[in-house]
Amino acid sequence: MPWLLTATLAIGAIAYAQVPEPSTSALEGIDAYAAMELANAWKGSEVMSFVTPLAVHFVFPDGQEVEIALPDDVMVVSVAPFLNYTHPCLTHYMSGCQGELVNEPFEVRAVLGDGTVVIDEVVPSMANGFIDLWLPRGEAIELTFELDGYRTVGVVTTHRDSPTCITTLQLEPAGG
């Protein structure tokens, strides 16, 4: 199950010893996983970045655009579970979207319609309050997030027209 491994490795961990300065040359020859890491690391720079079901996109101040295709078998869904505030969103902008709960250790579970568990682990939210999940394509997936006695459950899809930004999962007291 390659998506489980990539979900574990790709979340919030920059693979570079030092994050390169934003430039089109920094994107040459990298894959979508590394592109997402750079896009998250470049938040606050002048580079606009966002992810669609098919690619990671970068738009530089001089108008240059770079698109890095996502793998055929997985797509990234960025989720920001929240307690008190959120924002409406369908396309995740790594350069702009900000979630409420930053650097929090969420218990994350992702289950396919046939009952296959693809993620069941503690995953920290990033500095932007999001958790980037690399999930198998063409599925409806039940996601569960738990944090400090709070819980939320929702279903996401991973189709060519699916949202990449999920900001609708409000945490509520678990067991109540």
**pLDDT at position 1, please?**
41
- Contact call for residues 157 and 131 (beta carbons, < 8 A): no
**pLDDT band at residue 19 using 50, 70 and 90 as cut-offs:** confident
* Strand pairing class (48-51; 65-69): unpaired
* Residue that the structure tokens 């409806």 belong to: 140
> pTM of the predicted model, to two decimals?
0.89
| pLDDT per residue as tens digits for the range 78-127 | 999 999 999 999 999 999 999 999 999 999 999 999 999 999 999 999 99
**pLDDT band at residue 3 using 50, 70 and 90 as cut-offs:** very low
Where do the structural domains in the chain lie, given as residue ranges?
1-176
| CATH code matching the domain that covers 1-176, chosen among 3.40.50.970, 3.30.460.80, 2.60.40.3700, 1.10.10.10 | 2.60.40.3700
Contacts for 76 with CB less than 8 Å, ≥ 6 apart = 10, 32, 36, 51, 56, 70, 92, 132, 133, 134, 135, 164
Reduced DSSP (H G I as helix, E B as strand, rest coil) percent helix, strand, coil of the chain, to 5: 10, 35, 50
